[in-house]
Amino acid sequence: MTEPLLRVRDLKTYFVTEQGSGTARAVDGVSFDVYPGETLGVVGESGCGKTVTSLSILRLIPEPPGHIRPGSFIEFEGRNLLTLAPKELRAVRGNRIAMIFQEPMTSLNPVFTVGRQIAEAAIVHQRLSRKAARARAIEMLTLVGIPDPGERVDHYPHQMSGGMRQRVMIAMALICHPQLLIADEPTTALDVTIQAQILELLDRLQRELGMAVMLITHDLGVVAGSADRVVVMYAGQVVEQAPTTELFARPLHPYTEGLLASVPRLDTRVSQVRGRLHSIPGQVPAATAWPAGCRFHPRCPYAWDRCAMEEPPLLDSAGGEAGTHTVRCWLLTEPQRRERHA
């Protein structure tokens, strides 16, 4: 198997909270790999730590109040990003690894033209002249499907729609041809027809440019359509990871199972869907007080005493190649409990 492009090991990012209510363990021992050219979906609900994970990779966590704990390890192209000097780190950010965010309006600078913002990375990293960078910016606008790129390059963000602004963000992120694109909820703020356009655009650009994409989203539908592999996060941890088809066909963690069952679906008949939706009882606990034992046990329909006392490690599911489908759940050691429950 090929070497991973990005290797995250035991990442712990904690925040000191203001009113002394303790330390928020937002990301608490997360490990995963991203391989060259693949799309890794990272799924979870608000507060599960998915965004903090992605910000930690680029060391964009404000310190204080946040800090990445010693012992965490993020290797990219053979180097530990967590120990890089600021200058070396800058050569990675926006160049080898780029990022796009959910809200394109707040991530674009309102007082500069979009062309200037797109060109900036090429001027800094590739030392292009202003004129050459502007030409590259126009090329990038063409690539991301913005009509009249020669004219649009001089527009300001407020003159563009949400979908257009997200295209500008993508152009900006990709101008240096990064090896890894981190896309944090890139379509969440967009209408469904525009979302379809952006997802298709990302698919096409990934194929053409051969980059890896880490797609962070709460939307299981988006993951199903775009990701090769999926990492499911809950309460600051990875609770399940598997190839996409495997995860949807055989979700093994009760949280993944519950999440999939809660999604209102279009691909079922109205007569089947009318009536109650499955829902996961309770709510996500606070990051300052994760439950003892398995963090999902207070909401889990299968939980027994062991779950409240002992935290499960990521266990290998029996099916498939070792390490491809791992699950943080004691049910894997006692599968008969799942059947008994059913």
Partner 1 sequence: MTHAPLVQVEGLVKRFPGERALFGLGRARRTVHAVDGVSFAIAAGQTLGLVGESGCGKSTVGRAILRLIEPDAGRITLGGADVVALRGRELRALRRLMQIVFQDPYGSLNPRMTVQQTLAEPLAIHRLATAADAKRRVTALLEEVGLDPAFGAAYPHELSGGQRQRVGIARALSVEPQFLVLDEPVSALDVSVQAQVLNLLADLQRKRRLTYLFIAHDLAVVKHIADDVAVMYLGKIVERAPATALYAGPRHPYTTSLLSAVPVPDPKAQRQRIVLEGEVPSPAAPPAGCPFNPRCPHPKKNDRCRTEPPALREVVPGRFAACHFAEQPM
Q: In the complex, which residues of this chain contact partner 1 (CB under 8 A)?
A: 45-46, 161-164, 191-197, 199-200, 218-225, 244-245, 248-249, 258-260, 262-267, 269-271, 273-281, 283-284
Strand locations in 173-272 (E): 180-184, 212-217, 229-234, 237-243
Between residues 2 and 193, which has the closer beta carbon with respect to partner 1?
A: 193
Q: How far is the CB of 234 from partner 1 (least distance, A)?
A: 10
| Least distance in angstroms from the C-beta of 306 to partner 1 | 24
CA end-to-end span of the chain: 38
Distances 310 to 54, 145, 304 between C-alpha atoms, Å: 28, 52, 11
CA–CA distance, 25 with 97 (Å, rounded to integer): 25
Residue 191 Cβ vs partner 1, minimum distance, rounded to whole Å: 4
Q: Considering beta carbons, is residue 254 or 312 the nearer one to partner 1? A: 254
Which is closer to partner 1, CB of 2 or CB of 279? 279
CB of 83 to partner 1, least distance (A): 35
**Nearer to partner 1 by C-beta: 73 or 248?**
248
Q: State the virtual CA torsion across 320, 322, 325, 331 in degrees, nearest 10.
A: 100
Q: How far is the CB of 30 from partner 1 (least distance, A)?
A: 19
CB of 63 or CB of 151, closer to partner 1? 151
Residue closer to partner 1, measured from CB, 127 or 274: 274
- How many residues does the structure list for the chain? 342
φ, ψ for residue 236 (rounded to 5)?
A: 80, 5
Residue 4 or 243 having the CB closest to partner 1: 243
Question: Nearest distance from residue 326's CB to partner 1, in Å?
Answer: 19
Burial class (CB in 10 A: 0-12, 13-18, 19+), 271: exposed
Query: Least distance (Å) from partner 1 to the CB of residue 137?
Result: 21
Of 45 and 75, which CB lies nearer to partner 1 in the complex structure? 45
- Among all chains, which residue has been given the structure tokens 């390890």? 73
Least CB distance to partner 1 at residue 265 (A): 6
**DSSP secondary structure code for residue 275 in this structure:** S
142 vs 13: CA distance, rounded Å? 39
Q: How far is the CB of 127 from partner 1 (least distance, A)?
A: 36
Q: Which residues contact 219 (CB under 8 A, 6 or more apart)?
A: 187, 188
Q: Which is nearer to partner 1, 43 or 98 (CB)?
A: 43
Q: How far apart are CA 278 and CA 69, in angstroms?
A: 38
Asked if residues 74 and 254 have their Cβ atoms less than 8 Å apart, the reply is no
> Is 227 within 8 Å of 247 (Cβ atoms)?
no
Among residues 170, 228, 174, 227, the alpha carbon closest in space to that of 194 is found at 170
> Which neighbouring-strand residues pair with 320?
none
Tokens 């009113």 -> residue: 19
Q: Please state, in angstroms and rounded to a whole number, the distance separating the CA atoms of residues 221 and 203.
A: 15
